[in-house]
Each structure stands twice: as structure tokens, then as C-alpha cells.
Structure 1
């Protein structure tokens, strides 16, 4: 009996479906997206079942599919002929391994340790055992927790002024969200405050003394949080005019003192210079020299006295004494002005009384 065409087609579809169910199948289909924090561990599932028709050697490959479709897939780890090959991808070397030490048991899941932001990507598990071939893709996103969050104050902290509290995390994957809270006093933000969760800025308009206190900022993303705080102290306006006058007076006084010091130093320097010049010309500790003219006169007078007492017998030797050797510069320089006292023959005879003048 010949079957109608419709029933014949349905029978062929059922036979084909029955054949597919008997081939290799991947059973881990519960989760295809994972979000983890940097430094954590992730297990990418890849469990499978074999059929009686799958008689070839078992091969399990994990590949990283690049975001750019123009690039080739990168094998990161492989199990083939009862051996594990894990040296294909240097970025994950030492940080990845099969979850089950014997993948032939039907578990080809992959563990990645100490996750990094660069590990983000699409991973694909391929299981081959001829004639069966199956694969499954998993999206992994590695987030960086907020870290090194810093709080600061921008603007004047005076009554009536607008002041902005800022909060920024040096590390952290987007999108980061910031939230401010007051941890002292009423613990409620002022009524005039405006918060921007994306930038972390809290604007306090027309600040008053009641706004003073400790404020805390919490930065967060999908995998963690970080916190910082700042102390706000709203004070009365500063007397700017008084500060300016004080600064001017202080500057004038400082310049006056400086000028006085410079003047004293210059005066002292001149006095020292003058003392050195005087000391070089005339030494105060040396007594003044005796009069040279007096020395010459006393010397000549003493010679005259000696001549008056000499006799003719000893005159001969005395007359040989050179009078030019008198120690007087004045006497040597002006001989014409000094009278010659050399004894004459007349004087000798007159004084002795033995010789008569002719």
C-alpha cells in the first residue's frame, strides 16, 4: 500500500530527527552569558553526551572569537588523543584548565582563574567525535570594581556661596554610578542639593552653616563598590579688605627692614675699607719720627764742643773725619743752607794760643 505524499514527508522528518538525537549533543545550555569581577574565577560550562554512532577520536577545542569578524578564531586550549594542549594562547597561559581532568567523561568545561579585563570576549566550545560535531558559544564580560575613589570640594566654603562636592574613581569599569549621603547631623542631603549620579558631583546651592558636616560618596558598578568621604565646613565670609590692608602694611614694613639692613651693611663696608686704607698709609701704633734737623744740629754742636777741647796734637786725626757722613737726609739734600763748621787754621791757633795770626 502506497503512503500519501504528506505522510511520506512527515515520516522522513521523523527519521532524520531520530538520527540527530542519536548523535553527539551538548547538554549545558542553561547559561550563555557570564559577568565576573577582575581577579575572580569563572567556569565556562561545556558538558556533552555521545551516541553509539560516534566512533571517531574525541576532540574538544575552546576558541576565542574576536570582535572583529576579519580576524581568525584563536585556539586557547584543546584535548585530543587523550592529551591536553594549552600553549596556544599566551595571555591565558597558567590561568586556564579543564574542569575535569578526564574530559572523556563528558565534561569539557573550562576554568579561567584570576580574571582580567582583557579576558572579556566570546568563547566557543567545540566537541568532535566522528561523525558527531557540536559547538556552543558563551559571552564572558570581566568588570573592574571601583577603586581608589577620591572625594574633593570645589568652590568657596562661605555662607551664601555655591559649593560642589566631587567624587571620582581612578579604577572601575563603566558604567559607574555615584551616590552621596550625609553621615553626620540629620544624615539627609540639604534641600538645595543637586546630585549627578553619572559624574559624581553634588552641588550645594546657597550654602549655610547647617550644611557643615561629613559627606560620603559610594561609587558602584555591576561587580563592586568603593567609598570615600570629605569634611565640609561652611564659614562666614572673609574680610577681604582687612586682609589686603594687612598685606600692604606687612609688605611696606618688610621693605623698610630690608632697606635698613642693606644701608647698615653698606656703611659698615665703607668703614672697613677706609680703615684698611689708613692703616696702609700710616700705622697708628708706630711713634712719630724724630726731627731730622734737630739731629743734625745736635750732632754738629757736639763736634764743635769736642773741637774746643782738643789740642794740636790730636787735631790731625780728627780733621780726617768726614762730615758728610752725618745721618741726616735734610743735611745731605741742602748743604748750601747749612754753615760749614770745618775748623780753620786760624781757629786752631786762636784757640790754642800757641800760634800767632799772620
Structure 2
């Protein structure tokens, strides 16, 4: 019985001594790290060896897959006293061992130029037969907030609700937005309602005292940015005056248009009238009497009177029977409209030549005259 107990104790001592002297990971740092993009990070993995660990040393860093159906990605490897750093194309040229000789107990690596895609769980596995140990670390790469854009929605009129917005286009959540007033008494309006997640501040029933300079700050665990907004609350406009001014302006425009149209129509009618008058033939005005024609008429009368003196009574009788077309037209005939046909000249009464001679009449032949006054 005593032999059995002593045998068991010696076995336990041997086992404890063997465990105490085998390969161990000695790093005590945090297993969760948050870093900003474009920064660098050191993933710590220190280890110690025991005399029993006589096999070849292998160090492997891998990015564990979030889905169990997917395969883990080897990031960097040390084997056969040589480092292999180009296993994972996503971190090619950015992953390096912290020590030039990792077999001295430093399996830590450095990642530079961090990207949001570098976020994940990294595992450091150290193998030196018969010992195998590993350590996992969660790396979260966060994007700093970009410079936010400040704006005011809607009309900034007194008595209305004014919404101030602050938004960053980039930045890893959770993003927090804060508003503060930097002018006057530096107190936010009493009616202001803040939304730290959405980045809005609603100023209800805004007054002129709400005017001033406001600053919005967007921040997360790795950085912060801010923007400035100048808010001016103005009194509401005089709506009645605006409507009256608009009506007056419309009426003036209509009056001007009416005057222009009237002038254009009048000028057009005048031009049309003048054109018609220029082509109209006025036939109601008698032509002027020609002095030359009058003189010629007297000469013709004298010559014809002399010729009549040589006529015999028989010839005179025949002449009296002829229509008197050579009668000088009267003024009424000149003024008669051209549309009326000229009346035939009166026919001389049939009188015998001997009767005319007995009565002492002298036959006179009156020359004919055209309408223009010339003797025919």
C-alpha cells in the first residue's frame, strides 16, 4: 500500500515537471486590439522552449475564417530557419516578423498600413516537437471619421422647425455626433432635440436667439473630426406685400404689352391705307384747261366760220342735221362721274336753210373739244 502511494506520487511529480518544462506561450498582452486604418500594429507572441522540445521549430500565423466552411488563410510562416512572408496576397509586403531570428522566442509580427479588410482573428501557432502551443488575437481595424458636412434643412425662418444635420461619409461604427454652440452664451436652444447616432439637431419653433455659430463633432474609438455651421434665423417675410408687388408687376407688364400691340396695329393699318391711296385712280377731278388749246380753239372757230360763210343753204341744211358732237362740254359734264355714260348731244331742230337765211341767222360751226380742253 505504501509502495503504491509512493509510486503514484513519483509519477505525478514527473508529469508536473514535464509540463512545467515543455513549450509555452508567455505573452500576457491583450487579446483584442483596435487600431485606426493606415496605422501599424504589433501582434505579440512570445514563447519559451524546454529541453525536451528537440524537434524543428515552426511558427505559423493565420487569419481564421469567420465561416467554418471556409479555409483559414496563412499570413506568414517560419520554418527551417527561414521566414516566408508572401503567403497571403492581401497583406503582401505589409506583414513582417518582429525579430530577425524568431527561434530565440519572439514569434510576434508587425502589420503596417492597416486596412479595414485586415479586421479578423489572428492565430499564432508555435510547434517544436513534441510541444505545440497557439494564441489567438482579435484585430479590429477602424476607419477614422471623415470630415463631416454640416447643413440646415428647410427655411431658417423664425417660428419654424429648423433641422441641423451632420454626416461623415466615412468612418467605422459606432459613430457618435455631438453639437455645441460656440457663440454668444454657448448654450444650445432650449427646444433643441439631439440625435447622437443620426447626427441631427432639431430646433423647434426657432427664434432669432437661436442664431449663431455651431460645431458638430463626429468621433469613434480611433479618431474624431468636426465641422462649423453658421445659422441665421430671419423674421418671416411680408407675404401681403409680396403678393401686392407681384400683382402690380403683372398689371404693368400687361399694360406695356397692350400699348405695344396697339402701336403695332395702328402702324400696320396706316401703312396699308397709304399703300391703297397710292394706287387709287381719282377720276372725279377735272383736268386743268390749257391756254394753248383755247387759243387753238379760237383759230379753229375763225377758220370754220369763214368756211361756213361759203356754204350754200343746202349744205347748211345737211350740216344742221348732223349730231352736234363738237359742242363744248359744260361744267356739269366735267363733274359727272366717269361711271355714268355720257348723254348724247342734243339734235338740232330741223330747220330749212332758207328759213334760217330769212330770219337773218348766220350759221356757225362750233369746234369739238376733248375733256382735256384741246380742240378736235
| TM-score above 0.5, yes or no | yes
Runs of 4+ aligned residues of structure 1 deviating over 3 Å after TM superposition are 1-5, 7-14, 247-275
SS of residue paired to 1:170: coil
Match of 2:188 in 1: 189
Alignment of 1:140-159 (within 5 A): 140-159=139-158
What is the Cα deviation at residue 90 of structure 1?
Answer: 0.7
Match of 1:335 in 2: none
Rg (Cα) greater in structure: 2
Match of 2:50 in 1: 51
What is the Cα deviation at residue 238 of structure 1?
Answer: 1.1
SS of residue paired to 2:99: coil
1:79 maps onto 2:78 in alignment:
yes
What is the Cα deviation at residue 3 of structure 1?
Answer: 4.0
Q: Report if the CA contact (8 A) 2:29-2:44 is conserved.
A: no
> 1:270, 1:23 → 2: CA distance?
120
1:37 maps onto 2:36 in alignment:
yes
Match of 2:14 in 1: 15
Match of 1:97 in 2: 96
> 1:4, 1:268 → 2: CA distance?
139
Match of 1:205 in 2: 204
> 2:160, 2:15 → 1: CA distance?
79
Match of 2:131 in 1: 132
Gaps spanning 5+ residues in structure 1: where? 276-280, 282-358
SS of residue paired to 1:195: strand
Gaps spanning 5+ residues in structure 2: where? 280-376
Using the TM superposition, name which of 197-206 and 113-122 deviates more. 197-206
What is the Cα deviation at residue 14 of structure 1?
Answer: 3.7
SS of residue paired to 2:249: helix
Q: Structure 1 pair 254/42, CA: closer, same or farther in 2 (3 Å)?
A: farther
Q: Structure 1 pair 57/164, CA: closer, same or farther in 2 (3 Å)?
A: same
1:162 maps onto 2:188 in alignment:
no
Once the two structures are superposed, residues 58-90 of structure 1 have per-residue CA deviations (whole angstroms, 9 ceiling, x without a partner) of: 111100001111111110110111211122111
> 1:52, 1:272 → 2: CA distance?
125
> 1:274, 1:54 → 2: CA distance?
126
TM-score normalised by length of structure 2: 0.67
Once the two structures are superposed, residues 248-284 of structure 1 have per-residue CA deviations (whole angstroms, 9 ceiling, x without a partner) of: 4434545665677788889999999999xxxxx9xxx
> 2:76, 2:128 → 1: CA distance?
17
Once the two structures are superposed, residues 143-171 of structure 1 have per-residue CA deviations (whole angstroms, 9 ceiling, x without a partner) of: 11111301111233222222111111111
Alignment of 1:190-269 (within 5 A): 190-254=189-253
Alignment of 1:286-305 (within 5 A): none
Match of 1:2 in 2: 2
SS of residue paired to 1:55: coil
What is the Cα deviation at residue 2 of structure 1?
Answer: 3.2
> 1:63, 1:126 → 2: CA distance?
8
What is the Cα deviation at residue 8 of structure 1?
Answer: 5.4
TM-score normalised by length of structure 1: 0.70
Match of 2:354 in 1: none
What is the Cα deviation at residue 208 of structure 1?
Answer: 1.4
What is the Cα deviation at residue 227 of structure 1?
Answer: 0.2
Aligned alpha-carbon RMSD (Å): 3.0
Using the TM superposition, name which of 13-22 and 38-47 deviates more. 13-22
Count of matched residue pairs: 279
